[in-house]
């Protein structure tokens, strides 16, 4: 029996046609397309067609309209769940709402509803938390624009919806990351697509995975000025803290998504000082990590510039993990559908290192 390390490093746990992460080359391939092409070539709705191809009975050219209808359906379900429990954080409120989706309908309708529900619920959660009422979807709009409109209740400039769309495409799928693996395990028991999506969200919410971008901005604020960066970062790492937005299990070089999102942040951000501060802190962090974590290759990951993009879109920090889920639910549903298409229950073994029962009369 081969015993894996605690974090399953290097273990191949599934065959997939969805995506490949080449950590040495810093390359992400999604269904045959390099990340750069993906972001240039497809809208989020088109990417859903690419990801779901061969696994659902939906025409790619009807996905945008079908998704619009599914957002309306999700808004109806939302009404049955109000008021939201007020003791929960924003991401926990999203988890609560997703739990209300019934696991017993056709899988492709579920995949649409899961993708549609995340922005509808997220916009509602963010508005309700600030004493405003939820706004109904507009099925004619594209997904990114409709989310921003449901949140802001105003017409959305093209540059904002294009930036969010690029973000959603960029983070839609990424191999067997922790949340996708969690979703696949749940799907493999045939528990149902929504249960698997809820499981994906539960894994995503941790700060070591999708919870990092809010703390990235906290770090930028705490550092405040470029000249403070080296001392602040050195002390943080010396105290055993992890610098949010750096390090990755697979990438040994810079995460390619970081550059796509940095370009988006630069296009969006009027406040060039903020980007400059981020760049200087990034450079200082890479030096501090190289110096204090010798032998490890800790590079910038997707979350660093995610934080800058979402901030430039005027999204509150508590929403960042929910917006990540808006993109990643595309990958979760695709992997769930692939898992259901002939996959076996995922059931590894453990290596028991506890005591054995005493044989009677020997103690």
Give contact residues for ligand ACO (rule: CB under 6 A). 7, 208-210, 212, 237, 242-249, 293, 296, 298, 301-303
C-alpha distances (whole Å) from 169 to each of 89, 125, 299 are 26, 23, 22
Q: Please say which residue, 248 or 335, places its beta carbon nearer to ligand ACO.
A: 248
Q: Least distance to ligand ACO from the beta carbon of 160, Å? A: 23
Residue with tokens 């901030």: 311
Shortest CB 223 distance to ligand ACO, Å: 15
Least distance in angstroms from the C-beta of 287 to ligand ACO:
13
Give residue number: closest CB to ligand ACO. 247
Q: How far apart, in whole angstroms, are the C-alpha atoms of residue 323 and residue 183?
A: 18
If 0-12 CB within 10 Å is exposed, 13-18 middle and 19+ buried, where does residue 265 land?
buried
Q: Residue 185 to residues 17, 42, 177, 182, 213: CA-CA distances in angstroms? A: 17, 29, 12, 5, 26
Q: Is the dihedral of CA 243, 310, 184, 101 positive or negative?
A: positive
Round to whole Å and give the CA distance between 102 and 203.
20
Minimum distance of ligand ACO from residue 249's CB (angstroms)? 4
Answer whether 311's CB lies under 8 Å from 167's CB: no
329: helix, coil or strand? helix
Instruction: Give the angle subtended at the CA of 121 by the CAs of 316 and 133, to the nearest 5°.
Output: 75
Nearest to 246 by CA among 303, 173, 309, 310: 303
From the number of C-beta atoms within 10 Å of its C-beta (0-12, 13-18, 19+), residue 22 rates as middle
Q: Which residues are catalytic?
A: 248, 303
CB of 272 to ligand ACO, least distance (A): 24
264, 310 Cβ separation under 8 angstroms: no
Q: Which is nearer to ligand ACO, 211 or 343 (CB)?
A: 211
Quote the strand ranges of 164-256, DSSP E: none
Give the strand order in the sheet containing 33-34: 19-22, 27-30, 33-34
Residue with tokens 């395990």: 185
Give the residue with the Cβ less far from ligand ACO, 27 or 129.
27
| Residue among 82 and 208 whose Cβ is closer to ligand ACO | 208
Q: How far apart are CA 263 and CA 255, in angstroms?
A: 14
CB nearer to ligand ACO: pick between 63 and 233? 233
Least distance between ligand ACO and beta carbon 319 (Å): 16
Least distance in angstroms from the C-beta of 192 to ligand ACO: 25
Residue 147 or 304: the one with the smaller Cβ distance to ligand ACO is 304
Cβ–Cβ under 8 Å, residues 324 and 210: yes
Q: Which is nearer to ligand ACO, 94 or 302 (CB)?
A: 302
């Amino acid at each position: 029996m081969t015993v894996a390390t605690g974090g399953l490093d290097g273990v191949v746990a599934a065959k997939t046609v969805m995506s490949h992460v080449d950590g040495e080359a810093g390359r992400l391939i999604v269904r045959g397309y390099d990340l750069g092409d993906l972001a240039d070539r497809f809208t989020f709705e088109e990417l859903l067609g690419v990801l779901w191809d061969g696994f659902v009975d939906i025409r790619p050219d009807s996905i945008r309209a079908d998704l619009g209808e599914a957002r309306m359906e999700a808004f109806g379900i939302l009404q049955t769940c109000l008021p939201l429990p007020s003791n929960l954080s924003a991401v926990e409120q999203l988890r609560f709402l997703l739990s209300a989706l019934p696991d017993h309908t056709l899988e492709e309708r579920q995949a649409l509803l899961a993708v549609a529900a995340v922005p509808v619920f997220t916009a509602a959660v963010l508005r309700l938390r600030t004493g405003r009422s939820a706004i109904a979807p507009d099925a004619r709009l594209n997904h990114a624009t409709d989310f921003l409109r449901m949140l802001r209740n105003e017409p959305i400039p093209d540059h904002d919806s294009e930036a969010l769309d690029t973000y959603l495409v960029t983070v839609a799928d990424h191999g067997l990351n922790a949340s996708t693996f969690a979703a696949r395990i749940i799907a493999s028991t045939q528990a149902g697509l929504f249960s698997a999506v809820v499981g994906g969200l539960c894994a995503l919410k941790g700060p070591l995975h999708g919870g990092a971008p809010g703390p990235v901005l906290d770090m930028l604020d705490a550092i405040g000025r470029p000249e403070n960066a080296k001392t602040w970062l050195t002390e943080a790492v010396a105290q055993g803290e992890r610098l949010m937005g750096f390090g990755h299990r697979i990438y040994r070089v810079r995460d390619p998504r970081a550059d796509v999102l940095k370009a988006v942040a630069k296009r969006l951000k009027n406040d060039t000082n903020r980007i400059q501060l981020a760049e200087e802190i990034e450079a200082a962090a890479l030096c501090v990590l190289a110096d204090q974590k010798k032998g490890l290759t800790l590079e910038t990951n997707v979350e660093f510039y995610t934080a800058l993009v979402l901030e430039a879109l005027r999204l509150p920090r508590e929403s960042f993990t929910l917006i990540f889920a808006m993109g990643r639910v595309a990958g979760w549903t695709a992997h769930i559908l692939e898992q259901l298409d002939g996959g076996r229950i995922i059931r590894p073994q453990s290596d028991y290192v506890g005591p054995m029962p005493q044989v009677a009369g020997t103690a």
